[in-house]
Structure 1
Amino acid sequence: MAGKEMTGEKKTGKKVLLIVAGGIAAYKALELIRLLRRAGCGVSCVLTDNGGRFVTPLSLQALSESKVYADLFSLTDESEMGHIELSRAADLLVVAPATANILAKMAAGVADDLATTVLLATDKPVLVAPAMNVRMWLHPATVANMATLAERGVHVVQPNEGPMACNEFGPGRLAEPPEILAAIEAVLAGPTIGAAPTSGASAPLAGRHALVTSGPTYEPIDPVRYIANRSSGRQGHAIAAALAQLGARVTLVSGPVSVADPDGVSVVHIESAREMLDACTSALPADIAVFAAAVADWRVTTAAVGKIKKRPGAEPPTLSLVANPDILASIAAAGPERPRLVVGFAAETDDLMANAQSKLARKNADWIVANDVSPSSGIMGGAENAVHLVSASGIETWPRLAKDDVARRLARRIAETFG
């Protein structure tokens, strides 16, 4: 490969077939191509009809220095490289952005254009980076489609949370190109987080049972309203997957989240804090317990059976609150079933270190993973995290990393503790 884009690149010999679907986020595919080329990957592109409304074939070709494919019935393309060969010539197929439409077609096995035909005909790994409106991402149909694709082994770069072009806010923004690149490199390098557990020397946690909590809890006020903490579940789910990749048998107790269940992990879905405590207690004994969930501190004393109506001129209802059970402290309490290593999380907006050290002592935890979740940090709901690992022996400050990288680093530290 030659040209300015390749200056100073390392050459991996890996080939990526990038499928660009329709969506405003398609412009990020251009930067992704640039990053892939700098990483030494060869890139070919398939552009859907809708994708061509946002980026041009010329832009993709200029950056990839490779032919752009679009038409399933082009006789020239079929004579040069048929769709079967195109689907298998690359080491990895990447769909970015992956719209709700193309994800639905993938789940149903539809092949009505070049992109979906290539995806159905491939025998190579596939990675998708979803991007869509928050309501579309959270719709039961999309949730079901993502679960189907995950069961089939499709790799996913979860969307970010934030403001969207449609003036809504929530999960559904395409992951940033460096995040997608990191996921691509992980797949090309071999087994990834979410893959089957490794064995032998690469599985230092083999034979260990890890309990992980993730996501928020919902504490009902009435049948339609609830009290909750903000949490996407991305960090907890990534930790569960990272521990499984190191060979642990993992039980993940998850509150309501939009992220898919990790592969190779036993998942218990709950809603309330009391349900989470019951699930954690039932999962014991465990060697490792990581409490990454954002558990609501309070619940209403008695949830209303029917919807509390807003009536003109009436005063707002007064909610009587009671404390929820302290799950971390309960599991960390001395007893024969206490896990050997108990890790809590401290999400703070003020006095981070002081609050984390206080929590370490109060909860009888072995480690506290402390992070600043003030609005300016962008941590809550985002793709990155900046944490401090607090223990009786001191404080480790880690650089700001992708949440998957934080999970891998924490899993390695846990493995070191178990020798």
Structure 2
Amino acid sequence: MRTIDLRGRELTRADLLKLVPRAALGAEVAVERVRPLVADVAERGEAALREQARDFDGVEGHALRVPAEAIAASLVDCPPEVRGALEELIARLRLGSAAQVPAERVTRFAGGATITQRWQPVSRVGLYAPGGKAAYPSSVIMNAVSAQVAGVPSLALASPAQRDNAGLPHPAVLWAAALCGVEEVYAIGGAGAIAAFAHGVTEIGLDPVDVVTGPGNVFVAAAKRVVGGLVGIDSEAGTTEILVIADASAEPGFVAADLISQAEHDEAAASVLVTDSAEFAERVLAEVELRASRTRHAERVATALGGPQSAVILVDDLATAARVSNAYGPEHLEIQTRDDERVLGGITDAGAIFVGGYTPVSLGDYLAGSNHVLPTGGTARFSAGLGAHTFLRPQQIISYDRPALAEVEAPLLALAAAEGLPAHGEAVSARFDGSDAGTGEDA
């Protein structure tokens, strides 16, 4: 891992935004690559999807819509310990997600003047689960349970076709779908899946959705950006990243293991350590070298840790470390210091925050009860992670009776006149023309 030394430098926020490490292939470049793929699916539907499956997944002639019986039957081969773990994840996530659904609230201005704030779920969502270098049943659950807790009535799931599973998505993806009760599943991957959700594919019975969610690589994230506006998206949840703020009190082995854990996802994964101790940084790097060579995906990890997106950043103090983290806007932020709460107080921008030496990101990936679909590439500075709230829209229901409207008639007329919109005021005054006007009573 390369080292970026920021010690002894007075850096503005603009400076930090330029200095934090990023992947060589950014979302802007990826957008230009996927835009034609999205347009092709919008124009040619199933034919375009089959060509993309052939070119990117090496699969041909498969059923794009997974038969319902294949989803249910997949559970026969699910190991009992895995099924138990998935069911535990579902139960914990339902509890965690329920806290994200706001209660309806009524504001009263007068006896007959109310505004009711309600949170209405969208009608249909498209859920994406990656299927490249690993299987992600946990991502299926993160998506599906959040939508179900929000009250979404229609869910569709897409995940790439697998050559070694007869063109079906990975078996573990089907296990999760079955356990969550998701019956509309498509063997479609990458940018094509995002395009299919947004535009619909009539030949396979895929209706357009209102919101597209789920993690993926940088091309999936870019496809979301392309269709944004046509449909809602959760965030640009692309290639994973972890930033650890640690001082000399932290356990180097813990930090090293956590950096490696995210690096095994993908060669483009980002692992960043920010510390005020050069000696501690050296101890972590020694642990990384030792552990990375022994892990199953050693080659992938080495590529990710050696890439421009990964680094050790040396700072003068932990307050500066928090500023660096906020500029980076990490998907996953870990804090392992002598005073975790003080450091946490300086954090404003992160997808999810893991506090203390015994709260690794892996816990959030699986069984913390939090959601692991989070914004990447710095978008945590303005985007939130996936949750029940992703599928809810606040709606204001306004109800005034005649006396309540009469009370605000004069100031409303004044504002309408000030804005040069007299008909706005006349729409109110019309309700008071004549003593019986606006009562709603039959003649």
Structure-1-length-normalised TM-score: 0.33
Structure-2-length-normalised TM-score: 0.31
Tell me which of the two structures has the higher relative contact order, counting C-alpha pairs closer than 8 angstroms and 6 or more residues apart: 2
